[in-house]
Structure formats: C-alpha cells, structure tokens
C-alpha cells in the first residue's frame, strides 16, 4: 500500500506537461538575484538561472521597477516593486522556475481571516498561495500582501525530473516581490540546513511503540504478542513498524549492554528482529546516549568529557558524557552498537537523550571545549552523524527529544514536544514538517477522549504516526480512528512560517540551555490558539480538501480563508458522523463537536453537474489514499478502489437532480448493499484478498431532464 501512495504522487507530477529549464547541482550562493527589464518583460535570475519571468500588458514607460538589496546578520533580502506610473491597473503574467522539490505556499501570515494549519498532498492550487519555496536550493520567492494586488495567483503548470514551473498572474497597480535566498538556513536560523545534501524521508512512517504500553517492564513475550496482534489488526491498513523502547538493555551504556539484552529477552535481539520481520513488520529499536557504568567509564576516561581534575564529568539524566570530538570513542562505542543492530535487521532507530547530551553534557561543561559553542555542537553532531552512518540512509533515524537544530540533515525525524502526545506542537513547527525533517508529536494512546483527535491531526499533517497501547486495545473499537487515519500520506506544509511561532522563536536557546528537564521554551507545548488543520488533496482526477476541527474556538470559516473560491458550490460532508451537510458557497458553520469523537472532519469538494465521489469509508482523506482512475464518461462514473481484505468498503456518491437508478458493477469484489438517501448513494463492497476493486456506476439509461 505504501508503494501505491508513492506511485500516486509520481503519477500526479508526470500528468503535468514537461518543464524545460534544468536546475544546477551547484551549492547555491547566499546572494541576491539580478533583475532585468527589457520592454514589458521583467525577469529575476539567481545562481545562473532565470527563476522568474514576467510580462506586463503596459509599455515600459507606464510602469517603474524599484529594487532594494540588503543583508543583515547573514540574511539576504532582495525586493523589487513594479508600480504603474499613474495608478492604472496592470495585468501581469509570468512563470516561476524552481527545482523538483519546490512547492507553492504562503510565505507570511495573512493580514486578516481565520488562520488554518495547512498541509498539501500533491502540488497545491490554493488561492492563498503567494509564494514558491524551492527546497533544492533553499530560496523563497513571494509576493507581498496588498489590497491592490489581491488577484495574484500562483499555480503549478509544468513538471519533470529537472524541475517544476508555476504560472503567475496578477491584476493591480502595484506588486512587490520578495526574494530570500537560504531561507530556512539563514532566515529561519537553521545553520545546518543544506537540503542539496539530503532528502527528507518520503515513505509513510507509522508503527507501534512499546513505551507507554509497558515502559521498562517490557519483555520479549510482550513484543512477540504485539507483533502478532499489530500484524493482524493494523498492518493491512498501513501501520508497518514495530519499535521496542527502553527496558530490553542491560545497565550501564557500554556497547555490550546494548548488544546483549537483559534476561527478559532470552532469544537475543537478532532473533526478535527476525520474528518482527516474519510478520511483515519493520523492526525498530530505542537507544540513548546516556552512560552510567562508572567502572567502565573510568577505565576509558579519555572517551568522556572531563572536569578540571581530569576525572570524567557527569550530569543529570545523561550520566557520564560521551565526547563526540574523540574519534576513538566513536569507533569504540557508537559504531559497534549501531552496525550490529543494522546487521541484525533493525530498520528504525530512535536515538534518545540527545538534548541531555547537549544541555547537561556539552553546554554545562563548556570549559572543556576550547572553540566555544561551535566545538560543542560539532561534537554533538559527530555523535549523531556516526549513528546515521552506521544505521544507513535506507533506515529511519528519529532524534529524541525536543527540537534540536543540531540534528538537521542527519536525522529523518525529530520529537518536537515533551513526553506524551501533543497535537498543538503540530501548529508550532508546521513549517518544518517534511521539509527539514518529519515531525514526531510523540506516541498516540487510543483512549476514548483522544483517539480520534490525535490520529486525525497526525495523519492530516503527514507526521510520524506511532501508537503505544497494549495489544488488547487493538481488538476493540478504539482501533477505528487509527485504521481510518492510515496510511499517512506524504504532505508538504502550506505555510513556510510557523502558524504559532511562540516556540520556534526560542530555537536559539539550544545553544545556551544547561538543563533538559521538563518542557523547555523551544519545545512544542500542549497549548496553542490554533485548532483547524487542513489537508489539500491534489490528484490527477480531482482536487479537494479535508478540514479537521480539534476544538470549538472557531465557530465558522469562510471558503476564502481555506483558499477556495467564494461563490462556487462545494459539497460538505462530515466524515466521523457519516453526515452529508449539503452545499456551501461562502461560509462553513461547524456546529457542536460530538463528544464521541472530540473532533470533526469535513470533506469539502467542488460540486460537479454530474454524479461524483463524495467520500469513501476507508480513509480520512475521503478517497486520496484508496481511489484511482476516477472518470466520468458516457453517462457513467468509474474508478478503482484499494480495499482492506474482508472489511466492508463504502463508496459515497453524490447524485445531482436528474440522475437516479444506476446500474452498479464491481470487478474484484462483491457488492453487498446499495442505498440512496436524498442526493447521496452508498454502495458497499467487500472482497476477501484485499486486491483492487474496479467499479462502474452507469446512469446512461436513467438520466432525466
């Protein structure tokens, strides 16, 4: 199923026309671009490439182009404003050329309107987009907000393996473009962010973690039972990792204490990894960088940070402090553990206590480092880098815990909050997700109060999705929200700023923190004023969005605030309660949240004059995860559905006036029921092997009017 998700995304890109310019593989400069004006043509070049070309519908004598170039604290700002001389409105059209990992987005918080955390699957066509971010070269090109250029639009136009082109159109008397090279690295303060050196992890990451289920009491028997249950109840839906946490290792932190588990794991870690793999799951393992075995430490004191008296130093939580600047330590302590785990078949690595290594370790013993913070963070990165090298880029590496800029480019994911799940952190570091790394909001507990809300928010944002209950929970109805939120689609942020900046504003504190106890200023918190999360779905056959509401702060939202076209009819469906709410053209009123779910999920689709898919029962994306080849042709609606074996799968079809009584056929599955209520037809299908089901709903003999 994960492979099918990747294929669907690739099909979307290849469905666009080919894009001509090829972006260079050189390291991009931290420098402004070059603006040129020839007649009515305005262009912006950067790093030897023309990244923006504009055409005005007025002669050059009737408009001006003014530039500002400035550098402050390493941040380069390049602005140019196009203004008509006498206030006459101009029509400007053009094209932006960017790399294959670029995307459209919002660059700055909107001046007015409801604020929504936005993510996209596929390339966004939202009316809110006023910018293109090029991850390949880390530049951002945006148009400033202005009432005189409110009609500005940027939409994907062409794509191939060398890059993506975007069409731009604007009507107004003035527009200011703002070019920011090294955007995340300099403007966002992530000094190690060099996206031309690494790719973000694009496959879904969803699994089970033992921590909250068993804590340090975990046994080999617990893990094998969890593998049995998860493989049966969750694997078919897209949850395919199983990660053991703290409790399997022996005391101390020496390599042997990790490689040879304690008596609760008599078969050994290689045998356990093989058992997990035999169930079709990917084995994951927890480790940390804390060392507590004083006898072993003092026998190898030159591998550790030392006090002025030459004795190994220690700190709370971290114990004795591994010296990342010491190559012999890396060779003797780090490499043996992680090369062995990789050899034994582990493919997911959770690296814990990193904040304590940096805060209680290196920062608290700064006098040990002659070069100040640069040496301290390089020592820190050397530890993570060696783990990365030994585990391999083909395996997933999670840095834990707290937001640590020092792991950028090395870890695939980062725990962004405190211990325990917190969806609010996903509004505080929304711009990092799947651009810098994959956000980890910590493990989800499927409780009656939080299961629906936590699963929905995690999936809508494309974040790391890990559940952590005892296996018996997965044989109850509490498993429903997890199943319907899986698989997790690969998303991109709709904003390259954090909607709630109250935490990321303190990222520079990691250079001076000396205590990692409890919640720090930069950690994602459990409170945030934002509780609307939107996922835009952009498929070759249709574009729509789903909107998750996690609290009742907002009572309504306008279509314009969602980047949709006001005045145009949209079908509105609430997923959890399976309720069609009719057609909206301007504002969506939410109503009260049902306490059975503690959240709402609205599917919002542009209404078509013919029968169309409204949603499916399979997934909260209302079709993006399970539908393909949707087509309306010759009076019939057809498509292919990816179903779960032996589970009833329901198609919801909206039928406008004049369409009724279709003939319905399915290949690869059995139609077990078909009902119609008002304008919604529900067709339920089941098959026994989980293979795709092709279906056709033919109205050709019953169309009236």
Same domain (yes/no): 174, 217? no
Distances (CA, A) of 48 to 20, 29, 164, 360: 15, 10, 17, 46
Residue 502 domain-assigned?
A: yes
Residue 525 domain-assigned?
A: no
Same domain (yes/no): 236, 377? yes
Same domain (yes/no): 218, 117? no
Same domain (yes/no): 497, 567? no
State the chain's mean pLDDT as an integer: 94
What is the reported pLDDT for 17? Answer: 39
| Contact between 486 and 239 (Cβ < 8 Å) | yes
Least confident of 343-347, 371-375, 493-497, 655-659: 371-375
| Residue tagged 């046994």 (tokens) | 219
Residues 580-600: tens digit of each pLDDT: 999 999 999 999 999 999 999
User: Which of the four pLDDT bands, split at 50, 70 and 90, describes residue 205?
Assistant: very high
- Domains in the chain: how many in total? 3
Contacts of the segment 343-347: beta carbons below 8 A, 24+ positions apart: 344/269, 344/270, 344/273, 345/270, 345/273, 345/274, 345/277, 345/283, 346/269, 346/273, 346/283, 346/284, 346/285, 346/395, 347/282, 347/283, 347/284, 347/394, 347/395, 347/396
- Residue 343 belongs to a domain with what CATH number? 3.20.20.70
Distance of alpha carbon 642 from alpha carbon 3, whole angstroms: 12
- Among 457, 492, 511, residue at a domain's last position: 511
What is the reported pLDDT for 171? Answer: 93
Distance of alpha carbon 33 from alpha carbon 44, whole angstroms: 6
What is the reported pLDDT for 337? Answer: 98
| Contact between 603 and 575 (Cβ < 8 Å) | yes
Residues 599-618: tens digit of each pLDDT: 999 999 999 999 999 999 99
- Among 511, 530, 561, residue at a domain's last position: 511
User: Which of the four pLDDT bands, split at 50, 70 and 90, describes residue 13?
Assistant: very low
Residue 169 domain-assigned?
A: yes
Residue 197 domain-assigned?
A: no
How many other C-beta atoms lie within 10 A of the C-beta of residue 320? 26
CA 518 from centroid of its chain's CA atoms: 26
Same domain (yes/no): 94, 230? no
Same domain (yes/no): 283, 347? yes
User: Which of the four pLDDT bands, split at 50, 70 and 90, describes residue 370?
Assistant: confident
Same domain (yes/no): 173, 222? no
Residues 243-253: tens digit of each pLDDT: 999 999 999 99
Print the domain residue range for 160: 2-187
Highest mean pLDDT of the ranges 82-86, 144-148, 355-359: 355-359
How many other C-beta atoms lie within 10 A of the C-beta of residue 560? 16
What is the reported pLDDT for 479? Answer: 98
Distance of alpha carbon 463 from alpha carbon 257, whole angstroms: 32
Angle at 681 between CA 678 and CA 687, to 5 degrees: 160
Angle at 494 between CA 490 and CA 498, to 5 degrees: 110
Same domain (yes/no): 487, 575? no
Residue 642 domain-assigned?
A: yes
Distance of alpha carbon 522 from alpha carbon 318, whole angstroms: 20
Q: Is 542 helix (H, G, I), strand (E, B) or coil?
A: strand
Which residues, other chains included, contact 10 with Cβ-Cβ below 8 Å and sequence gap of 6+? none
| Residue tagged 């694997």 (tokens) | 235
User: Which of the four pLDDT bands, split at 50, 70 and 90, describes residue 528?
Assistant: confident
> What interhelical angle do 373-391 and 335-343 show, nearest 10?
20
Distance of alpha carbon 533 from alpha carbon 460, whole angstroms: 7
């Amino acid at each position: 199923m994960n492979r099918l998700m990747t294929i669907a995304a690739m099909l979307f890109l290849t469905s666009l026309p080919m894009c001509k310019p090829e972006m260079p593989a050189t390291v991009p400069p931290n420098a402004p671009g070059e603006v040129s004006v020839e007649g009515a043509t305005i262009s912006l070049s950067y790093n030897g490439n023309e990244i923006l070309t504009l055409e005005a519908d007025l002669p050059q004598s009737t408009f001006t182009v003014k530039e500002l170039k400035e550098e402050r604290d390493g941040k380069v700002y390049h602005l140019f404003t196009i203004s008509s001389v006498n206030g006459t409105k101009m029509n400007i059209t053009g094209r932006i050329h960017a790399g294959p990992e670029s995307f459209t987005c919002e660059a700055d918080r909107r001046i007015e309107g409801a604020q929504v955390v936005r993510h996209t699957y596929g390339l966004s066509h939202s009316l809110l987009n006023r910018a293109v971010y090029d991850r390949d070269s880390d530049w951002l090109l945006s148009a400033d907000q202005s009432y005189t250029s409110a009609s500005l639009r940027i939409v994907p136009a062409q794509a191939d393996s060398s890059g993506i082109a975007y069409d731009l159109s604007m009507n107004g008397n003035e527009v200011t473009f703002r070019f920011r090279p090294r955007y995340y690295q300099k403007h966002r303060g992530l000094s190690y962010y060099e996206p031309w050196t690494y790719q973000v992890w694009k496959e879904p990451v969803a699994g089970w973690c033992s921590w909250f289920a068993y804590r340090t009491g975990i046994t080999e028997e617990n893990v094998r039972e969890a593998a049995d249950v998860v493989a049966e109840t969750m694997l078919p839906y897209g949850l395919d990792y199983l990660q053991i946490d703290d409790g399997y290792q022996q005391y101390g932190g020496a390599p042997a204490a990790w490689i040879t588990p304690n008596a609760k794991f008599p078969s050994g870690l290689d045998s356990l990894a093989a058992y997990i793999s035999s169930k079709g799951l990917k084995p994951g393992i927890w480790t940390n960088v804390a060392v507590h075995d004083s006898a072993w430490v003092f026998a190898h004191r030159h591998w550790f940070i030392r006090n002025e008296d030459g004795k190994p130093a220690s700190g709370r939580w971290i114990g004795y402090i591994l010296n990342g600047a010491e190559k012999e330590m890396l060779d003797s302590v780090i490499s043996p553990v992680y090369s062995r785990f990789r050899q034994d078949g582990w493919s997911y690595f959770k690296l814990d206590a990193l904040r304590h290594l940096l805060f209680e370790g290196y920062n608290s013993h700064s006098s040990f480092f002659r070069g100040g913070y640069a040496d301290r963070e390089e020592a820190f990165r050397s530890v993570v880098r060696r783990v990365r090298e030994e585990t391999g880029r083909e395996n997933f590496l999670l840095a834990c815990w707290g937001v640590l800029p020092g792991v950028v480019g090395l870890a695939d994911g980062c725990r962004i909050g405190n211990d325990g799940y917190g969806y609010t952190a996903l509004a505080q570091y929304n711009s990092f997700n799947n651009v810098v790394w994959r956000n980890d909001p910590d493990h989800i507990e499927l409780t009656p109060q939080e299961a629906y809300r936590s699963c929905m928010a995690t999936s809508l944002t494309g974040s790391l999705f890990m559940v952590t209950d005892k296996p018996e929970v997965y044989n109850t109805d509490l498993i429903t929200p997890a199943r319907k939120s899986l698989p997790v689609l690969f998303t991109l942020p709709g904003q390259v700023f954090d909607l709630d900046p109250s935490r990321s504003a303190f990222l520079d504190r990691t250079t001076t923190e000396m205590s990692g106890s409890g919640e720090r200023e930069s950690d994602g918190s459990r409170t945030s004023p934002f509780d609307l999360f939107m996922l835009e779905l952009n498929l070759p056959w249709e574009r729509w969005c789903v909107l998750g509401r996690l609290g009742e702060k907002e009572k309504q939202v306008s279509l314009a605030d969602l980047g949709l076209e006001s005045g145009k009819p949209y079908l509105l469906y609430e997923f959890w309660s399976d309720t069609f709410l009719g057609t909206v053209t301007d504002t969506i009123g939410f109503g009260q949240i049902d306490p059975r779910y503690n959240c709402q999920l609205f599917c919002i689709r542009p209404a078509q004059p013919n029968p169309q898919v409204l949603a499916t029962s399979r997934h909260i994306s209302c079709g993006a995860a399970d539908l393909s080849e949707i087509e309306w042709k010759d009076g019939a609606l057809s498509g292919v559905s990816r179903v779960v074996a032996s589970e009833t799968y329901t198609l919801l079809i909206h039928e406008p006036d004049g369409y009724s009584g279709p003939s319905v056929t399915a290949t690869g599955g059995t139609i077990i029921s078909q009902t119609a209520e008002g304008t919604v037809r529900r067709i339920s299908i089941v098959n026994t092997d989980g293979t795709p089901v092709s279906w056709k709903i033919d109205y050709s003999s019953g169309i009236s009017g």
